């Protein structure tokens, strides 16, 4: 069994984010990066299946030349190989269709039995790359997976729905799943694992060498922090008068 896990590196949670000079993105030149947390749960599921079925786990990501944090982390935890699709197109706010298109070309060449992704990314949170990727690959898919079992031919999964409801499904392999955060407890990389990761293969695939027509379907024109306002209005008068004033204010704000 071969399992491909889609990974992403995102700015660390304690990073101070600043807009770029052109105002259309973020200046990430001094930013520390870490593995996108939802992807850690997808990786852990892949590693558990590896232990059960002697599977090969391949971690893949799309990013600039220095986008190796998530891949190295995956290799240190137990993934067998890494693939980096290199292009500055993915260095900023890469939208789902462009990312999925590039990933699909590289993944199709691997012919995996199972593709796993995290539910969404911590930085932009589109939550669409996995399902778009499944459509491009022509694979059956399911989202929000909180339980996963396989006999090597089919998948038995449990999906989280709204209002505390769940759904159980059976899918044929190959398939794609997006993993819900909290499905497991991701392992830490051991010192031995970190040492072994340095010797594991990491294939760099320039986007220009892939037969993929990738063009962003979403263009960010301006990125800015919302204006902070600390103005307030003190209501005076009797309780009935204050209630009337509040009602007027809510209607002016079109809340009511």
For residues 193-232, one letter each, b for 16 or more C-beta atoms within 10 angstroms of the residue's C-beta and e for the rest, the string is: beeebeebeeeebebeebebebeeeeeeeeeeeeeeeeee
DSSP string, 153-187: SEEEEEEE-GGG-EEEEEEESSEEEEEPTTSS-PP
User: Residue 247 pLDDT more than 90?
Assistant: yes
pLDDT, tens digit (0-9, with 9 covering 90-100), for 144-174: 999 999 999 999 999 999 888 999 999 999 9
37-41, 154-158, 168-172, 224-228: least confident range: 224-228
pTM of the model: 0.84
Q: Which of 8-17, 126-135, 175-184 has the lowest mean pLDDT?
A: 8-17
Report the percent of the chain where pLDDT is more than 90: 67
Give the confidence band of 92 by pLDDT, cuts at 50, 70, 90.
low
* pLDDT mean over 215-227: 79
* Residue-range domains of the chain with CATH: 2-209 (3.40.50.620)
**Predicted confidence (pLDDT) per residue in 96-115, tens digit:** 999 999 999 999 999 999 99
Q: What are phi and psi of 106, to 5 degrees?
A: -70, -40
| Separation between Cα atoms, residue 96 and residue 132, nearest integer Å | 7
DSSP-assigned states of every residue in 230-252: -------S-HHHHHHHHHHHHHH
pLDDT at 93 (0 to 100): 65
Rounded Cα gap, residues 195 and 198, in angstroms: 6
Judge contact between 26 and 149, C-beta under 8 A.
Answer: no
């Amino acid at each position: 069994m071969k399992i491909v896990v889609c990974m992403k590196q995102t700015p660390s949670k304690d990073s101070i984010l600043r807009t770029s000079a052109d105002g259309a993105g973020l200046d990430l030149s001094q930013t520390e990066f870490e593995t996108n947390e939802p992807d850690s749960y997808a990786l852990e599921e892949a590693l558990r299946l590896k232990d059960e079925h002697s599977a090969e786990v391949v971690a893949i990501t799309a990013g600039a030349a220095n986008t190796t944090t998530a891949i190295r982390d995956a290799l240190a935890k137990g993934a067998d190989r890494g693939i980096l699709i290199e292009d500055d197109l993915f260095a900023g706010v890469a939208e789902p269709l462009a990312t999925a298109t590039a990933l699909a070309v590289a993944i199709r060449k691997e012919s995996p039995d199972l593709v796993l992704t995290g539910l969404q990314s911590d930085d932009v949170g589109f939550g669409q790359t996995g399902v778009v990727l499944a459509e491009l690959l022509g694979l059956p898919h399911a989202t929000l997976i909180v339980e996963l079992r396989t006999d090597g031919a089919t998948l038995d999964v449990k999906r989280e729905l709204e209002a505390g409801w769940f759904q159980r499904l059976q899918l044929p392999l190959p398939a794609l799943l997006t993993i819900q955060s909290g499905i497991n407890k991701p392992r830490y990389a051991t010192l031995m694992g970190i040492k072994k990761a340095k010797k594991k293969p990491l294939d760099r695939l320039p986007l220009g060498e892939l037969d993929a027509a990738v063009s962003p379907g979403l263009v960010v024109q301006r990125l800015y922090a919302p204006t902070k306002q600390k103005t307030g209005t003190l209501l005076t008068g009797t309780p009935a008068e204050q209630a009337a004033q509040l009602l007027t204010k809510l209607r002016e704000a079109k809340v009511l």
